[in-house]
Chain A
């Protein structure tokens, strides 16, 4: 089993507790690490040929009051996909940028900064608009942002001041 070999390898080489590793499906593994350890673990993965940064995404767990950052990495040689999750507090959403490890991460992090308000230190574009030009509300993918309330407030329903001819009458 390729996965088990790989899990044994990272347990041994990185000293990760096996409780933090789950097998999601065939060829897919999920790992949870502390936010302080995340950068070291990600650069370790890069060195054992996880060259493709597939996706960086965030999940807003508002009830637990933290954000989950998920890095999905693919190794073509090992034919494995690893999702690395790390949790950061909602009150101080900061993380170290990985754009020096995978250059493509620049836009994923910028994207998350815009939609979740998570700040990546070492990233030059934080706070600048990417997709949402002229947006001044709170980051829209946070769970406490209500798009319906926003659109009612931003685009109030119009009052029409005219008489409707034949209102309520059937015209033949």
Chain B
């Protein structure tokens, strides 16, 4: 049969952002695939070299659009490691609360987002609506809805008010009731069962060879989670489980994301209960805009919703970073994975593949 070249994207239901895949199809089966990234390349790494250490905080949340807080956190942790700073205990707990709310938000978006490639259009409406309630919390806490610029080197910008903590708990209780409905609408739905079960499998050997982290590896029976293996902030003091399953297909990967939401809730509730009183930020030495970070290099990383998210940061002792490399969590599956994993998939499953693998174009385009 004649092979046809097909441009899938840049905009398609499996992607929040612009990322196209050049496919060669034989009938409905993909023969070869080539990722075509770069549509969201904004030159962050070069821009960061031209801004002071503190100014960068306003720039970096834009690197990953649906989950911006991890950028601030990983950057601040890196700068603190370079400067040898120890932040106040209360700031660590607040960071954990913020990061876990962000994780719930992105998981709601991905669980709802599966409606795009499968055609179950109630799901995205629900997901986005429930995510919006948490954006309200961020608006009250930081003044911004999407890009918060709240986590800064030295701690967090300001303390979290007590009534807001109560509101967070109320919203979590409400969401907990909603999750039952999500399960009925999405995970028990015949369309989802038919379209996702057995679709887009990710064999263990491939996952290991590509070096996938996060959901991709946890759906293959490994409990690798940086929050457990290399605990940062106060994750070693909080008890939570890492959901794991044995067979990786689109359904099980989506289910893992869904099962992580109650764990994040558990972490937030514990953090609110255990949070000590005290300062939330230590003052930087001298003028913050003229702050010089000591010489050195560090690879700072954390567990994002898609896997290991890291910054390699180099300082030459100057006013600006000498070099920062952003390691997007979906780099392995989004570039090499597309090339090696998509062939053999049917054309209608390409969007499902990209969606459930957690490919996020802005973070590897940078």
Chain A interface (Cβ < 8 Å from any Cβ of B): 24-25, 27-28, 30, 51-55, 57, 59-60, 70, 72, 74, 76, 79, 81, 83, 102-104, 106-108, 115, 129-133, 140-141, 145, 147
Contact = CB atoms under 8 A, between A and B. Distances in A.
Tell me whether chain A's interface is mostly helix, strand or loop, or mixed. Answer: mixed
B173 to A, nearest CB: 36
A112 to B, nearest CB: 10
Contacts of A74: 308
A72 B299 contact: yes
Interface residues of B, number: 36
Contacts of B126: none
Nearest to A82: B299
Interface stretch (B38-46, B129-137, B270-278): B38-46
Contact of B310 (A55, A115, A132): A55
A147 B50 contact: yes
A64 to B, nearest CB: 11
Contacts of B332: 104
Contact of B336 (A59, A60, A81, A106): A106
Given A30-B297, A51-B211, A81-B299, A130 B38 contact: yes
Given A79-B229, A79-B230, A130-B38, A51 B208 contact: yes
A54 B310 contact: yes
Given A55-B299, A104-B332, 11 more contacts: A24-B299, A25-B298, A51-B208, A52-B211, A53-B211, A57-B323, A72-B312, A81-B299, A107-B336, A129-B38, A147-B46
A106 to B, nearest CB: 6
Contact of B211 (A60, A81, A102, A130): A102
B322 A131 contact: no
Contacts of B336: 103-104, 106-107
A59 B314 contact: yes
Contact of A107 (B208, B308, B335): B335
Interface in B202-258: 208-211, 213, 222, 224, 229-230
Nearest to B335: A107
Contact of A103 (B230, B301, B340): B340
Contacts of B16: none
B37 A25 contact: no
Contacts of A104: 210-211, 331-332, 335-336
Contacts of B38: 129-133
A48 to B, nearest CB: 15
Contacts of A130: 37-38
A81 B297 CA distance: 14
A71 to B, nearest CB: 11
B211 A59 contact: no
A70 B312 contact: yes
A120 to B, nearest CB: 15
Contacts of B81: 25
A129 B35 CA distance: 12
22 contacts: A24-B298, A28-B299, A55-B310, A55-B327, A57-B312, A57-B323, A59-B297, A59-B323, A72-B299, A72-B312, A76-B224, A79-B230, A83-B297, A83-B299, A102-B209, A103-B336, A104-B331, A107-B331, A107-B336, A132-B38, A133-B38, A141-B46
